[in-house]
Amino acid sequence: MADLLREIEAQISGAKASATKQNVGVIREIADGVARVEGLGDAMLNEMLDLGHGITGLALDLDETEVGVIILGDYTRLEEGDEVRATGKLLQVPVGKGLLGRVVNTLGEPVDGKGPVKSDVAYPVEKIAPGIIRRRPVSQPVQTGIMPIDAMIPIGRGQRELIIGDRSTGKTTICLDTILSQARLNKAAEAAGDRDYRPLYCIYVAIGQKQSNIARILTILEEAGAMPYTIIVASSASDSAANQYLAPFAGAAMGEWFMENGMDALIIYDDLSKHAVAYRQVSLVLKRPSGREAYPGDVFYLHSRLLERAARLGEQYGNGSLTAMPIIETQAGDVSAYIPTNVISITDGQIYLETDLFYQGVRPAISVGLSVSRVGSAAQLKAMKQVAGQLKGDLAQFRELAAFAQFGSELDAKTQAKIDRGKRIVEIFKQPQYSPIPVEVQVVVIWVAQNGYMDDVPIDRVKEYQTRLTEFLTTVKDELLRKIAKERELSPALTKELKALAEQFKESWK
């Protein structure tokens, strides 16, 4: 015991007390998740602040005498006069593969009750996007498993493709289908031991959504076995506007980790309309000047700096990519509103979903005329390009002729044939939700339709024909599908095999 006492005494005498310099301030005013703090003379923009009670704040407005702070947590526990400490750190979130399969909040804290997140790396939430030197053009496809998209509006890795449409038109479903398709492809490549395949990890950012919706999405992904490749960043409608404003940036930081470590990731922002609304609320409470529709002047920069972070990096920079699929909800189909036009101009294309099509039973309700992919065609599979190259034009022509034919006039045989073919293509593009189709199956189905093998199938039986053809392909002609997936283009020999397949199937079709 005497030794122990001597040891403690020796340690006390050897200990040196040091005082660290801290930068502090005092809350002068607090309301609606935003505090004005007096002091904090050395605070940096976007610096994390310790507000006590385990609550973190973010310095967003640096004025001459005070700092505007958004509070990320329960601000009702804070009071005027409370001390605020600067941490010297920019707002950062944990990143890495440890987050896969988890549901986290804006700060990267788990909200799924599965214990702490395993991560020893953190990335800043706000980061400057990769410059032009580090980038390379988009050249690898993102297989969404949705036939009209993969055929006519292809998306490449590193692209920013907007999903736009009214409420309840299937915007989130398209994104979920894409996640499910990636999970299927990732699993297949793992099972086959394919080392050349680059898995695509997905990050789903829910902004201002109902908790029940987020729970439903989580269930769908869990049931389909997609969660091991997915991160969900949840900032629900019950979260503060500050949390909702920061959620997509936190998700982007998580995606950047994959990109900068030579991997591919896909990030879905669901949705940026609610994000703009949350940012407007934060800005108005911070007393920033408002502009059109009361949005602050930098709402364009808010979305452009977020979406610019999606990129495909060059070989010498790891060859990683971050693909972005932002969602915008329009009001009564108005794409010319402020936020939709902003995001349309920032992205590399958009998939426009129409309410009318949705209620006509065309699901996914993609408007072929208004949807476009500006860079994705360079990434499209060559086999798909061979079969679907003319499809967009043909469908546009079909719509024009179909509108003309409504007047009941007699049509010549050629026009009638075009209309009939168009109707069949519209039918094969109908697809139930959460059932992505492998790209090689898509190629065969479109080839069969384009080469007239479906022309004598009644329109109400086209879907049945397609289902049975798919079954025939996956059970009897599995080898052909593997060849298409391997060769990636339709050689004359493969075309010959396709012809034989179509004829063989036709014989069995009744």
Partner 1 sequence: MKTTKKIRREGKQLFRLCIVNGLLDESRTSEVVKRVIESNRRGHLALLSMFQRWVRLNLAEHTAEVETAAPLPADLRATLQARLENLYGPGTNIQFADRPSLIGGMRVKVGSDVYDGSVQSELAELEKSF
Does 20 bind partner 1 (CB under 8 A)? Our answer is yes
Q: Is 236 exposed, middle or buried (0-12, 13-18, 19+ CB in 10 A)?
A: buried
* Cα–Cα distance for residue pair 140/312, rounded to 1 Å: 9
Using the rule CB under 8 A, give the single segment among 12-20, 104-112, 183-191, 354-362 that binds partner 1. Answer: 12-20
Nearest to 442 by CA among 216, 61, 177: 177
Contacting range for partner 1; rule: CB under 8 A; set: 13-21, 168-176, 327-335, 472-480: 13-21
Cα 175 to the center of its chain, rounded Å: 7
Of 65, 238, 336, 508, the one binding partner 1 (CB under 8 A) is: 65
Measured CA to CA, the distance from residue 509 to residue 453 in angstroms comes to 11
User: H or E stretch including 282?
Assistant: helix 272-285
Q: Which of 319, 382, 369, 371 is nearest to 348 (CA)?
A: 371
Collapsed DSSP state (helix, strand, coil) of residue 251 = helix
Q: Compute the residue count for the chain.
A: 510
**Span from 15-23, 199-207, 412-420, 428-436 in contact with partner 1 (CB under 8 A):** 15-23
Active site residues: 374
Which one of 22, 139, 219, 474 is in contact with partner 1 (CB under 8 A)?
22
Kindly state the smallest distance separating residue 19's Cβ from partner 1, in Å.
3
Task: Considering only residues 25 through 44, tell me which ones interact with partner 1, judged by CB under 8 A.
Answer: 25, 38-42
Q: Which is nearer to partner 1, 4 or 19 (CB)?
A: 19
In this chain, which stretch among 17-25, 139-147, 342-350, 501-509 interacts with partner 1, using CB under 8 A?
Answer: 17-25
Select from 3, 21, 212, 316 the one that contacts partner 1 (CB under 8 A).
21
Angle at 71 between CA 65 and CA 73, to 5 degrees: 160
Q: Helix 241-260 to helix 272-285 angle, to the nearest 10 degrees?
A: 130
Closest by CA to 232, choosing from 213, 204, 199, 265, is 204
Distance of closest approach, residue 43 Cβ to partner 1, in angstroms: 9
Closer CB to partner 1, 53 or 482, in the complex: 53
Indicate whether 19 belongs to the interface with partner 1 (CB under 8 A): yes
Q: For residue 145, which of 168, 174, 187 has the smallest C-alpha distance?
A: 174
Least separation in angstroms between CB 275 and partner 1: 30
State the minimum distance, in angstroms, from the CB of residue 225 to partner 1: 39
Q: Of 37 and 278, which has the nearer Cβ to partner 1?
A: 37
C-beta of 40 vs 226, nearer to partner 1: 40
Of 322, 324, 305, the closest CA to residue 128 belongs to 305
| Cα gap 322→264, rounded to integer Å | 6
**Sole residue written with tokens 């490549």:** 189
Piece in contact with partner 1 (CB under 8 A), picked from 20-28, 158-166, 327-335, 466-474: 20-28
Given 23, 46, 355, 495, the residue binding partner 1 (CB under 8 A): 23
Evaluate whether 230 touches 187 at the Cβ level (below 8 Å).
no
Q: Do residues 338 and 280 make contact, with C-beta atoms less than 8 angstroms apart?
A: no
Does position 17 interact with partner 1 (CB under 8 A)? The reply is yes
Is residue 11 involved in binding partner 1 (CB under 8 A)? no
Considering beta carbons, is residue 5 or 19 the nearer one to partner 1? 19
Number of residues that bind partner 1 (CB under 8 A): 15
Residue 309 beta carbon to partner 1: minimum distance, rounded to whole angstroms: 33
**Shortest approach of partner 1 to residue 292 CB, angstroms?**
22
For 363, residues 6+ apart whose C-beta sits below 8 A from its C-beta are 170, 357, 430, 431, 432, 433
Q: Catalog residues that contact partner 1 under the rule CB under 8 A.
A: 17-25, 38-42, 65
